[in-house]
Amino acid sequence: MERMKSLLGVLVAALLLVAGSGIAGAQPNLVIDRSHGQQVDLRGFTDHLTKDLGWKVTDLTKWPNPPAVPSDCSLLLVPQPTVEFSDAEVAAVHAYVEGGGGLWVLYDACDNCYGSPKYLNALPAKFGVTFNADTVWQITSDFFSTFTIPVPSDLQTGHPPFTGVADFVYYHGASLNADPSLVSVVVTAPDAYADSGVYTTTPPPVLATADVGTGHAVFIGDILPLEPSTYNSLDAQTKLLLDNIAAWLEKPEESGPIPVTINIRPWCKENRIDLQSRGVIRVAVLSTPEFDVKQVDPKTVLFAEAKPLCWMRIDVDRDRDKDLLFLFPIRNLKLTEESTEATLTGKTLDGKAFEGTDTVQMVQHKTCKKPEKPDNRGNHCEGNKR
């Protein structure tokens, strides 16, 4: 009996551990861009995400410099920007999607809605989509009515956002243009016309998806289905479409930091460290076919938990590719006399963690032996300081 109780106790503890780790590690984070003048209320859909599907929702009110999508972002939602994205922000979003992230861009048909002076296309254009300053209407509709857009049968079984979705409703949304060389799927609205503006095709496209690298993007010209005033009255098919889109765009959890190659004391034959020294130690992150150091955000880098004094780009290993060389104060290194290796960590500009380890030899009051070149290279970081 006691043995049975013991086994049951272990089993229960294991189940609780697995369940707890799953809850803590699997919560996706919807990041809503609020830094480009957006005033739309999306709580109809976001309340459903948080209460029913276990998502977390955060607002991005200010982009970092240099721009980067938050590292914990599972899906970036951009609703009706009224301030143009900068070239650097567009590049950061594109890199995020290319690396496995999800992007969802929503526009609306009314030029004056939410204070928007015009339709801004710098971001969607990077993915082959532009929105028109027009309104897609059903011929007999009034302002608040909807019309049904059928989903082609091949998409219902062949494209995740549309699985099980026969049709969805569309309010007074805008049309869009899609570059067939960049987008993968375009859904059009039948029997509609433009209240203002001119469609590039007939019938007008209203939804497009794009595959970029290992990530995906969705563009829709109708924002009303996500708002509280309309979401709760949506039909089941349209709600399923929204859930499918979120699930398809959700960035998978990272399996671990990106492995990088580092070189401690790159011009010395041995990686000797004297922890009593008041000097600096040079550590290089090497460019390889798998990792370009141009991706590195230098201000996130730590070596043995010490922050760098400065950094510079220099060809350390003579392969004609620039590497990234850092100088760290030795007295700040979290190492001991027994340490045999040291690790450098950091993040890329789009928020991915990376890590590299090299061996070290702890000594007292000694320097490296027989440098291949004078040991004064990389002592000046040309103003690239933390």
Nearest to 63 by CA among 96, 40, 39, 41: 96
Q: For residue 316, what pLDDT is reported?
A: 92
Q: Tens digits of per-residue pLDDT, 81-134?
A: 888 999 999 999 999 999 999 999 998 875 554 444 455 889 999 999 998 877
Nearest to 186 by CA among 215, 208, 219, 166: 208
**Band (171; pLDDT cuts 50, 70, 90):** confident
Q: Tens digits of per-residue pLDDT, 322-360?
A: 999 999 999 999 999 999 999 999 999 878 899 999 999
Residue with tokens 């106790």: 9
Q: For residue 378, what pLDDT is reported?
A: 57
**Band (365; pLDDT cuts 50, 70, 90):** low
382 or 224, which is more confident?
Answer: 224
CATH 3.40.50.880 domain span(s) along the chain: 2-249
Q: Which fold has domain 258-363?
A: Immunoglobulin-like (2.60.40)
Q: Tens digits of per-residue pLDDT, 14-48?
A: 333 333 333 334 689 999 999 998 889 999 999 99
Backbone dihedral angles phi then psi of residue 115, each to the nearest 5 degrees: 75, 15
pTM recorded for the entire structure? 0.62
Q: How many whole angstroms separate alpha carbon 239 and alpha carbon 52? A: 13
238 or 195, which is more confident?
Answer: 238
Q: For residue 113, what pLDDT is reported?
A: 47
Q: Tens digits of per-residue pLDDT, 220-232?
A: 999 999 999 899 9
Residues 6+ apart with CB under 8 A from 198: 132, 134
Q: By percentage, how much of the chain surpasses pLDDT 90? A: 59
Q: How many whole angstroms separate alpha carbon 311 and alpha carbon 381? A: 5
Q: For residue 118, what pLDDT is reported?
A: 53
Q: Which fold has domain 2-249?
A: Rossmann fold (3.40.50)
